[in-house]
Chain A
Amino acid sequence: MTKKHLPLDELSGAIGRILGLLLTEEKVDHAVQSLSQAIKDSVPGAIGAGVSIFDPQGRATSTGSTDGIVEESDQLQYELGQGPCLTAWASEEPVLVEDAHTESRWPEWTAAVVALPVRSVVSAPLIASGHSIGAIKVYASRPSVFDSGTVSLMELFASPAATLLSHIQSSETPQRISEGLQTALYGRDLVNRACGVLMERHKITHEEALQRLLLQSRNTGTALQQVSEELIAGIPADRQ
């Protein structure tokens, strides 16, 4: 994950994106949303559930939640830099909060959520290929609603969810590349095909062919891709 700037990574990311293999951000948001709902529906006593994906600096890059209370409680965690989900993510261990009112591990967060109906919390890390990429969490409005059984259930959810979510590129690179890449690949293909025509026609090398196209473009004030397009279309633009 540290070599995110390898050109090969960028290219495979971009190609994956073009082929529709990588999840788009829209799909990710939809996925975390559905997952949140599934967790809430499956955990007895839950009033809300959520999914957070963090970047290596602990900033949430994608979040999903079933309701505003979860969202608010999560937002407080990100702002304060502390809370059960951040701990689950960072420690790569599930976290069980029996009662937020007596909890002492995250004093600022517990003080901040005192007005919210958030008393019981379970959060489990999302671990994919040995890396913690985020956390899922479930809330209840009364204390001691959750126990070790809830923790096990959440861990069961977390494992496949992490694997699926890890296929979402959190890096913006594939997105940036793919925006222009399709156009760029098309243009490059045009130029290379025009080079092929010239190579065949004049028995010259690829470099010489590209050189000719470049000169043609400069002399006629026509964009290189346009020159290539016309050449391929059979317009006799290369008559010198």
Chain B
Amino acid sequence: MGFDSNEPEQRRRLLAALESAGISTGTLWLRYFSIGGSVGEYEVEAYLQGMLSLPELERDLLAMAANELSSRGAGPRAPYADELPVDETPAQENPGLPDDGPASP
């Protein structure tokens, strides 16, 4: 079992959104639970730490929970899985690189 190719990116940006809005894991989990999320708080904690892979639906529910909680803030949004570019190469821990390479002729 591995991670979906865009899972690390989705997780990283969820973390950024949580951090910017000052949302604790407990708060996130309770909101996620209240909109139908089905994994426990400890699994969510493990997911946030990159130690556990979650299905896309659960990841999107977490993103939605974070976005609902931070709706008044100006910080970064947590992206949904289908908003992330499909990336075939293994995920790099180097998010700053722009996708500017010219296509080979």
Identify the A interface with B (CB < 8 A): 7, 176, 180-181, 183-188, 191-192, 195, 207, 210-211, 213-214, 217-218, 223-225
Question: Chain B residue with minimal CB distance to A208?
Answer: B57
User: Quick check: B64 and A187 within 8 Å, CB to CB?
Assistant: no
Nearest neighbor of A223 in chain B, beta-carbon distance: B68
Most buried by A among B36, B57, B80: B36
The binding surface of chain B is classed by DSSP as helix
Is B30's CB within 8 Å of the partner chain A?
yes
Q: Do B40 and A191 touch across chains, with their CB atoms under 8 A apart?
A: no
Q: Which residues of B contact A211 (CB under 8 A)?
A: 57, 60
CB distance from A174 to the nearest CB of B (A): 14
Interface on B for A, CB 8 Å cutoff? 26, 30-31, 33-36, 40-42, 57, 60-61, 64, 68, 80
* Cβ of B100 to closest chain A Cβ, rounded Å: 29
- Shortest Cβ distance from A225 into B: residue: B35
B30 touches A180 (CB 8 A): yes
Q: Which residues of chain A have C-beta atoms less than 8 A from B68's C-beta?
A: 223-224
A188 vs B38: C-alpha distance in the bound complex, in angstroms? 10
Closest 7 CB pairs between A and B? A187-B34, A184-B34, A191-B36, A224-B35, A180-B30, A188-B34, A184-B30
Pick the contact of B80: A181, A195, A213, A218 (CB < 8 A).
Answer: A218
Q: Which residues of B contact A180 (CB under 8 A)?
A: 30
Further pairs besides A188-B34, A214-B64: 8, Cβ < 8 Å:
A180-B30, A184-B33, A184-B34, A186-B34, A210-B61, A217-B64, A224-B35, A225-B34
Q: Which of chain A's residues has its CB closest to B27's CB? A: A180
Q: Are B61 and A214 in contact (CB-based, < 8 A)?
A: yes
Q: Are A195 and B36 in contact, with the CB atoms below 8 A?
A: yes
**Which residues of the partner chain B approach A188 to less than 8 Å between Cβ atoms?**
33-36
* B61 contacts across to A, CB distance below 8 A: 210, 214
Write the chain A residue with the least CB distance to B55: A207
Known: A7-B41, A180-B30, A184-B30. A210 touches B36 (CB 8 A): yes
Docked pose: A106 CA to B55 CA in angstroms: 60
